[in-house]
Structures are given as structure tokens and as C-alpha cells.
Amino acid sequence: MRFYTGDESGLIKAIDIDHNVTLLEAQSQAAKKAKAAAKAKTLEKKGDTTPAGPAELAGVGMRTVSGAVSRSQGIQHMCTSTWATGESVFVVGRKNGEIEAISRDSGQSLVKFAEPGFADTFSIKNNGRLITERHYVGVGAADGRFVACTNMGEVRYQPFASADGEPAAAAATLMKLPMDAFRMRVHPKRPSVFAVGGREQELTVWDAETVKAGAAEGGYAKPSSAPIFKSKNVPNDNLDLHVPVWITDMQFTSDDTANPTIAVSTGYKQIRIYDAKAQPRPVHNWTPSKHPIYHIIVSHTRPELYFADNTGSLSQLDLRTGKVIGGYKGIAGAVKSIALSEDGSKVAAAGLDRYLRVFEAGGMRRPLHQAYIKQRVSHVVWDWEQKDLGLDEIEQKEAEEIWEDMGRLDQDVPPKRRTTKRKAAN
């Protein structure tokens, strides 16, 4: 299995994990190597107490695909897309305001766009909070276009490049939404459709191809058209006080873009389900955690949802009942990103503890593999193109290779000349 991670140091790494090597075996081998290395070091130089980093586990390979260590180049959001040539690319939003498309195979930068005025200093008070800098709250891309949103509510939807290869800023759609946005996600089937939410900012769903907003030369402008969907806050509490709004993450759970169904997490410990066909208020409102929920991902194989809070807890929720099925143990820091395998049987999580961990998604929810990334991870992508082969498939593949080799050997050997013996004349 293969993963790609983006981290706060600006690196994109590829992590290959051999699924045939269990976590227990890898940890056992790593402990033996660490013990032998410590003993050798003690014998070589007594009194050296320099702490060593975590030992590398067997069956884990890691390489840097792109980037150099730079805090200003830190990756805040990352997604995958396909270039016009069919090449797979990473689209990243960096701390310095750059949107960059990077080839997955070569690691080369294909095109780069810098958001004007991204690094400008300011001080704005909003909802009792002081905002002093911009950062990306979401990035999405498809069909040669990208959509990016900042915490100031600035949404840019534009092609990566024009016909001459230069950034096509003139063809951009610029929208100014309410500030203090916390998260933006694009629809998996139609990336021009995206959802935005934040602090005291209700969930809204927009279509960048049909919305009427300001042109690029005129700067960001408020949309003059209505969104596809806008949520409505839950009724006031028992004291008739306003219930605060803090949307932290969202996921589209249906392919319908005209009347979407969306799962939402909040900083007030709730998981909510919105159905645009039914009503603007949530059709389900659950409180499955004791801490703010920051990240969610909906399973594409089962009616389940995985959510992570700010304490390093990763849990599994049944979308039919709203009950927590179980949790995943062993995570030491807050989770920043969650990914699922193609068959939905495994779940991976990475974050501030610098570890990528793979768990069994269901059953005992056992830890299966882990890898030490060395940097704090901001996003993880599971490469579904890299297939895991079982023992039967491996044996079948080896047998096919043997038969192919035998066929090539027969072609290399020159055919023998056929000789016939003549009978002796009487």
C-alpha cells in the first residue's frame, strides 16, 4: 500500500508499506535493531546519552517526491487531480499563498500561481476574535481548474493556465464570502460545486460556474446570486439564547449536486446531517464526542463516518443511528487528516505526532501498520492505484511469470534440424 503526505515543512512524501509485514513483527525487528545499535554505541563510546529518534520499521519505505524543508512553503491543504495529458498531479495550497500543481511521478512543478496580497499584514476583529493572517481552508481541482478558499472568505475559481501557458487569472471567478471561514470542500463528482462553513458562518453550497460574482480585475465581490443551499441554525436553547455556530469540516454524502446531502462536524462536539431536499435545518444532530470535532470522512462502502477531535481521538460513527461504533487507540497527537482504502477495510490517520497509522476499519479495529514521517503531517492521500496482493494472487502472479520466462527460453533456443536415417541398401 502506498500513501502520499503533505507536511508543514513543505514536503510531499511517498510512503510504501508492505502489508505482508505486520506491525508486531516490524516493531519486534526494530526493537532488536535498536538494542543492538545501543549496545554497539555503548561499547564504542561510554557515557554518550544522545537520544535517538524512533527506529525505522521493517516493511516501510519512504522517499521525498517534491519540495525542500521551508516553513514558509508549508502545505496547508492538498488534493489529487488529473492533468490534461492524463498525468496524475498534486494540487497544494502553501503557507505563502501559492497554489501549485506538482507531477506525482516526476515531482516537478507543472504550474504555480501566487495569490496577490496573501502575505499582507492586518488586524481585524470578528466575532470577538482577532484575525491577523490569511491561510487556506480548502483546495480542490479537476479538469485543469482549481478552487481555493481562505479564512477571509476569499474564493478563487480559475483555470491553471491559458493557452500560452501563463496563469489565467483573467478567467477567474472571485467570490467574497463572510470572513472567518474554517473549512471548504469540493464535491467529488463536480469540483465547481463546493461547500463552505466557519465560525458564525452557516453552511453554504455554491456552484462556481453559475454564480454571479466580481471579475478578476475588479477584485473579490459578494455573489449577487443565491447559493445552491444555505443551512439554518438549530432553534434557540431552553433559555431562548442563540446557539453558536462553528462548522469545522464537511463531506458530501450524495452525488446529487442540485439537492446535496452533507455531513458536517462542529467545534461544539456535534455531527449534523443536512438534506437540501428536506429542510435547511439538520435532519440529524448528534453529539458523539466530549471534545471539538475537527475532521471527518464518510465511508464510500458503508453507512459510516470517521471523525477526529483535538485530543488525538479517532472514532467510527454509524450514520443510521448516530451511535459511536468504536474508537482507534494509540494516536498521540491531534489528527489532521484521515484516508480510507479503496475497499473500505482500512483507515489511515496522520497528524501532529508525526506518525502515519493504518487501522483495521471494523472488527477489533486493530493497528495494522505505522510509519514515522519526521514532520507534522497536514494531509494524507491513499494511493488506490497501488494494489495490495494476497498470497493467492502473489502465487498466481509468480506462476504466470515462470510460464512467461519458459516461453521466452523456447524462443531463444534455435530449433534442432530434423534428420532422417536412410535404410541400408540390400
Asked whether residue 178 is domain-assigned, the answer is yes
Residue reference for cell 473579490: 220
| Residue position matching grid coordinates 470572513 | 179
Specify if 185 maps to a domain: yes
All cell numbers assigned to 397: 502472479
With contact defined as beta carbons under 8 Å apart, do 218 and 175 qualify?
no
Query: Residue 39: what pLDDT?
Result: 64
- Residue 393: strand, helix, or coil: helix
Residues 140, 77, 173: CA angle, nearest 5 degrees: 40
Pairing of strands 367-372, 377-383: unpaired
Residue 94: inside a domain, yes or no?
A: yes
- CA 389 distance to own-chain centroid: 24
Are 194 and 167 spatial neighbours (Cβ–Cβ below 8 Å)?
A: no
Count of positions (residues) in the chain:
426
Amino acid 299: pLDDT: 95
| Total domains in the fold of the chain | 1
Q: From CA 165, how far away is CA 144, in angstroms rounded?
A: 12
d(CA 179, CA 294) in angstroms, rounded, equals 19
**Which whole-number Å values give the CA distances from 130 to 52, 121, 158, 374, in the listed order?**
40, 12, 30, 32
Domain that holds residue 151: 74-234
Relative to beta strand 367-372, strand 355-360 is antiparallel
Kind and range of the H or E element at 23?
helix 23-44
What's the confidence (pLDDT) of residue 238?
Answer: 92
Looking at the domain assignment, is residue 55 inside a domain? no
For residue 302, being part of any structural domain is answered with no
Cβ contact 75:64 at 8 Å: no
Q: In angstroms, how far is CA 14 from the centroid of its own chain?
A: 13
C-alpha 404: how far from its chain's center?
39
Q: What is the pLDDT of residue 421?
A: 54
Task: Give me the CATH number covering residue 108.
Answer: 2.40.128.630
The residues pairing with 328 across neighbouring beta strands, listed in sequence order, are 314
What's the CA gap between 55 and 34, in Å, rounded?
7
> For the stretch 136-155, what's the b/e string if a residue is b when 16 or more beta carbons lie within 10 angstroms of its beta carbon?
bbbbbbbebbbbbbbbbbbb
pLDDT below 70 — which residues of the chain?
A: 24-37, 39-56, 58, 161-170, 213-218, 388-398, 401, 405-426
Residue 197 counted as domain residue: yes
Single pTM value for the model: 0.83
Region for residue 140 given its phi and psi (left: phi exceeds 0; alpha: psi -120 to 50; beta: otherwise): beta
Report d(CA 423, CA 225) in Å as an integer. 101
Contact predicate 319/305, CB 8 Å: yes
Asked whether residue 217 is assigned to any structural domain, the reply reads yes
Task: Classify residue 164: in a domain, yes or no.
Answer: yes
Cell reading at 34? 535498536
* Percent of the chain whose pLDDT exceeds 70: 80
Give the span between the Cα atoms of 397 and 401, in whole angstroms: 6
